[in-house]
Amino acid sequence: MAIQSADMAPHMKTLYGLLTNTDLKGLLKHYLACNEKENLSQIAFLFQQGQIKSTNFDFYQQLATKFIESKGLPVALIRQIKNNDILSFFTPALQLKANFNKVNDQQRNVLHYLMLGDNSLMLGEENSLSEEKSPAPPFNYLRSLMLFESNELIHFALCQRDAQNFTPVETYLHANQNLDDLPNHELSALLALIEIESKKQEVVANNYLPIIQSVRKLCLFQNQNQNQNQSKEQNQKQIISQKLQRLLLIAAYYAKPIKQVVTDINL
């Protein structure tokens, strides 16, 4: 992929020139002198370059980590970390200075956006780091990270609540629009995350109803798109059943019988 530096904004032209000369001190000085919006575009550029050629991945990852370590995690970056590729690239930076726990204006941390997935585009949020939709949040990767004592702060992030009072797992249950069954390894990992959270704090019972209502709307919306010639009632009966994995997960999270969850969602 050729980089046309002439088409870049001034702060990016400077970054590109310093990268070309491998001027590490100059790169850091330039990054520190730029504002947060410019920093976000610079970090996004490093991520994209790291994805182009695997042999360059470590260099760009280490440089991005150094930038973030020196100036702090840009708040705008939190909502951009939506899939496994982006998470893997920024994991070293997120492990610094409790960055996994840092929140934005919606009181959401990185885990909230990972579990929400690229559906955040539907909320009008930017997506400068990736244009591809992630089929499932990287639950297995997160569970692996949590096995290390050095990542104890990720356990805290798993229990943080956003402005809607939802934990990251509840964000997935409430708003992730991919209702397909999770791959087995991701499903088992998510159940493990639910167990970890349950040992650290009690669920908020009042969150159950809005999650049920949201999933009902998701089911109806998706099934109506697939079956334009059927009535709303026929569509609802077809998709909202005990076999829908999301309902099983809701039952597991709130410790409710699956029959009750199915009954409640069909009210």
pLDDT digits (tens, 9 = 90+) for 72-115: 999 999 999 989 999 999 999 999 989 999 999 999 999 999 99
pLDDT at 123: 36
Nearest Cα to Cα of residue 212 among 262, 163, 150: 262
- Of residues 43 and 1, more confidence is placed in 43
Q: 95-104, 150-159, 230-239 — which is least confidently predicted? A: 230-239
Asked if residue 228 has pLDDT above 70, the reply is no
Place of tokens 């000085």: 29
* pLDDT mean over 140-146: 93
Nearest Cα to Cα of residue 141 among 202, 183, 198, 201: 183
Q: Are 162 and 107 in contact (CB under 8 A)?
A: yes
Asked if residue 69 has pLDDT above 80, the reply is yes
Read off the pLDDT band of 238 (50, 70, 90). very low
Q: 88-92, 120-124, 174-178, 214-218 — which is least confidently predicted? A: 120-124
Asked if residue 257 has pLDDT above 80, the reply is yes
Residue 85 structure tokens: 């590729």
Q: Are 109 and 87 in contact (CB under 8 A)?
A: no
Q: Within a 10 A sphere around the Cβ of 4, how many other Cβ atoms?
A: 7
Rounded to a whole number of angstroms, the CA Rg of the chain reads 21
Nearest Cα to Cα of residue 239 among 260, 254, 217: 217
Q: Are 51 and 85 in contact (CB under 8 A)?
A: yes
Asked if residue 124 has pLDDT above 80, the reply is no
User: For 172-191, how does the pLDDT look when each residue is reduced to its tens digit (9 = 90+)?
Assistant: 999 999 999 999 999 999 99
- The segment with the largest mean pLDDT, out of 61-65, 113-117, 224-228, is 61-65
Q: What is the CA 148 to chain-centroid distance, rounded?
A: 20
Helix (H) or strand (E) holding 265: helix 258-265
Phi, psi of 86 (to 5 degrees): -70, -40
Q: Within a 10 A sphere around the Cβ of 86, how many other Cβ atoms?
A: 22
Distance CA 92, CA 21 (A): 25
Q: Considering the entire predicted model, what is its pTM?
A: 0.86
pLDDT at 126: 43
Kindly tell me the sign of the dihedral angle through the C-alpha atoms of 73, 74, 80, 86: negative
Residue 37 structure tokens: 């919006």
Read off the pLDDT band of 219 (50, 70, 90). confident
Asked if residue 32 has pLDDT above 60, the reply is yes
* pLDDT mean over 143-159: 86
- What's the longest Cα–Cα distance across the chain? 65
* 142: DSSP letter: H
Read off the pLDDT band of 122 (50, 70, 90). very low
Mean pLDDT of the chain: 87
Asked if residue 12 has pLDDT above 50, the reply is yes
List Cβ neighbours of 134 (8 Å cut-off, separation of 6 or more): 82, 83, 84, 117, 118
pLDDT at 152: 82
Delimit the domains of the chain by residue range.
9-72, 202-267
Asked if residue 1 has pLDDT above 50, the reply is no
Q: What is the number of H-type helices and E-type strands within the chain?
A: 14, 0
Asked if residue 6 has pLDDT above 90, the reply is no
Asked if residue 127 has pLDDT above 70, the reply is no
Residue 69 structure tokens: 């370590």
* 230: DSSP letter: S
